[in-house]
């Protein structure tokens, strides 16, 4: 199919009241797909994530910008009556509303689910929270709390060590994806019914869903799944193996399976790569079970080979033999990876005040719908355009709102 110019979500308008990461990452994804995303922020400072991530000179920090590409920014004080009137007018013209304030905040502002439905029965109202219904639903949460309470930390780390937080913000990023999927489903439902609905997602449930396979053992045996570190499936070799020149991340992860005959075929591939096919018929390594029994010796043999090669060399040689393997790339290596750059996972954008900036691009490719990356907006940069162009406010009315500090 030939690439087109029509964006996948063209014509969809999103009012983004979210802050920090889970909500902004969801709306950024919708913006990449072509939705018009209007980010509503507090006058003077912006949403909390923007304020917390500023550079020493006061300009927006890249960490905030990485979560807010492809949006416009409207400043609006929703605590003021006139500000709430503007938001009501905006919601009447919107398709989606996204918020991730603390529990009860939207209700205190006068935007309960019932009120929003009155304003616009076709609106999809996405609500991102820390906890779902239950004992803790009235409390806020953050990424590591969700990892702890959803089981992820209990699964992460070495078997003889404490539970460990995953290095990336898996709860925020995962919840953002769940929110986007829910919003898209609700929009599709609206095409058949004409009605919007509330989409509820929370950090804890999203992490639990991403731990789904780990629940097989407790569901079957009533015994919790254990931490296994970098080992997989009780197979050998499996895990991290040291590589040259011995830096902090100079490792290659090698993955073999315990299922036969696939596991032994992978072992034979490793032997070919190591030029040790003399071990092919060695009884200590002849089966997956035997290799597991002699895992220390297996690891010793493989490590002796990997130490003489870089992690990329090990990865290439094993992949060529049909063995799953991956170099442990640090974040700097990732953004310099020519393959990432070639497929626009790392892109350069022109920021209106900071000039050329390198950022992370869109991870989804649609063959007929482009998804370019636009820089994150300056605070309030599109306020007048939204108020005048979309809501039809006169210049005098906009100036009155500015004078009162509402925008």
Show the DSSP H helices in 54-133 as ranges.
Answer: 62-65, 81-92, 105-109, 113-119
The whole-number pLDDT of residue 82 equals 97
Name the pTM for this structure. 0.95
Residue 43 near residue 406, CB atoms below 8 Å: yes
The whole-number pLDDT of residue 1 equals 41
Residue 254 near residue 322, CB atoms below 8 Å: no
- Is the pLDDT at 4 greater than 80? The verdict is no
The whole-number pLDDT of residue 404 equals 96
Q: How far apart are CA 171 and CA 149, in angstroms?
A: 11
List phi, psi (to 5°) of 262: -60, -40
CA 188 from chain centre, in angstroms, equals 23
Give the residue-averaged pLDDT of 135-162: 97
Element housing 110 (H / E): none
Q: Residue for token digits 């493989």?
A: 302
Tell me the C-alpha to C-alpha distance, in Å, between residue 152 and each of 20, 144, 206, 362: 21, 9, 11, 26
> For the domain with range 13-211+338-403, which CATH number is right: 3.40.50.10540, 2.60.120.1130, 3.40.50.2300, 1.10.357.10?
3.40.50.10540
Structure tokens at 330: 């640090």
The whole-number pLDDT of residue 3 equals 59
Give the residue-averaged pLDDT of 175-191: 98
Smallest CA-to-CA distance from 92 within 114, 121, 135, 49 is with 121
Give the residue-averaged pLDDT of 211-226: 96
List phi, psi (to 5°) of 348: -110, 130
Sheet holding 96-99, edge to edge: 72-75, 36-41, 13-16, 96-99, 124-129, 198-202
Is 128 exposed, middle or buried, given 0-12, 13-18 or 19+ CB atoms closer than 10 A? buried
Q: What is the pLDDT of residues 15-28, one digit of tens each?
A: 999 999 999 999 99
Q: How far apart are CA 339 and CA 337, in angstroms?
A: 5
User: Is the domain defined by 239-330 classed in CATH 3.40.50.740?
Assistant: no
List phi, psi (to 5°) of 247: -75, 180
The whole-number pLDDT of residue 36 equals 98
The whole-number pLDDT of residue 232 equals 74
Residue 234 near residue 263, CB atoms below 8 Å: no
Residue 271 near residue 277, CB atoms below 8 Å: yes
The residue extents of the domains of the chain are 13-211+338-403, 239-330
Average pLDDT, the chain: 96
Would you place residue 334 in the very low, low, confident or very high pLDDT band (cuts 50, 70, 90)? very high
Active site residues: 172
Q: What is the pLDDT of residues 86-138, one digit of tens each?
A: 999 999 999 999 999 999 999 999 999 999 999 999 999 999 999 999 999 99
Give the residue-averaged pLDDT of 377-404: 97
The whole-number pLDDT of residue 2 equals 55
Would you place residue 233 in the very low, low, confident or very high pLDDT band (cuts 50, 70, 90)? low
């Amino acid at each position: 199919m030939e690439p087109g110019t029509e964006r996948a979500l063209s014509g969809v308008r999103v009012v983004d009241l979210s802050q920090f990461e889970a909500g902004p990452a969801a709306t950024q994804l919708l913006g990449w797909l072509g939705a018009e995303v209007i980010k509503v922020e507090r006058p003077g400072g912006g949403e909390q994530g923007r304020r917390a991530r500023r550079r020493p000179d006061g300009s927006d920090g890249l960490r905030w910008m990485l979560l807010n590409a492809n949006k416009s920014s409207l400043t609006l004080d929703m605590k003021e009556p006139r500000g709430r009137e503007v938001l009501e007018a905006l919601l009447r013209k919107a398709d989606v509303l996204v918020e991730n304030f603390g529990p009860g905040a939207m209700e205190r502002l006068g935007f309960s689910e019932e009120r929003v439905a009155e304003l616009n029965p076709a609106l999809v109202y996405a609500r991102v929270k820390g906890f779902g219904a239950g004992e803790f639903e009235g409390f806020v949460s953050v990424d590591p709390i969700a990892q702890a309470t959803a089981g992820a930390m209990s699964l992460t780390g070495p078997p003889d060590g404490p539970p460990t937080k995953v290095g990336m913000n898996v709860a925020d990023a995962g919840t953002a994806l769940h929110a986007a999927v829910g919003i898209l489903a609700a929009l599709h439902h609206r095409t058949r019914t004409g009605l919007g609905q509330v989409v509820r997602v929370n950090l804890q449930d999203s992490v639990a869903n991403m731990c789904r396979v780990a629940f097989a053992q407790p569901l079957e045996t009533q015994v919790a799944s254990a931490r296994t570190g970098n080992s997989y499936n009780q197979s050998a070799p499996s895990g991290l193996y040291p590589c040259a020149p011995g830096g902090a991340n100079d490792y290659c992860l090698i993955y073999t399976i315990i299922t036969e005959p696939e596991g032994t075929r992978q072992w034979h591939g490793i032997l070919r790569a190591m030029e040790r096919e003399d071990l092919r018929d060695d009884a200590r390594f002849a089966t997956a079970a035997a290799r597991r029994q002699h895992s220390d010796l297996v690891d010793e043999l493989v490590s002796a080979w990997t130490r003489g090669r870089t992690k990329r060399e090990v990865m290439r040689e094993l992949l060529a033999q049909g063995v799953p393997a991956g170099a442990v790339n640090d974040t700097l290596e990732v953004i310099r990876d020519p393959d990432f750059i070639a497929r626009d996972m790392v892109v350069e954008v022109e920021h209106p005040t900071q000039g050329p900036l390198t950022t992370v691009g869109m991870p989804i490719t649609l063959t007929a719908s482009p998804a370019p990356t636009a820089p994150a907006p300056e605070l309030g940069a599109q306020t007048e355009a939204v108020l005048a162009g979309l809501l039809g406010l006169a210049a005098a009315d906009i100036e009155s709102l500015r004078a009162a500090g509402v925008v």
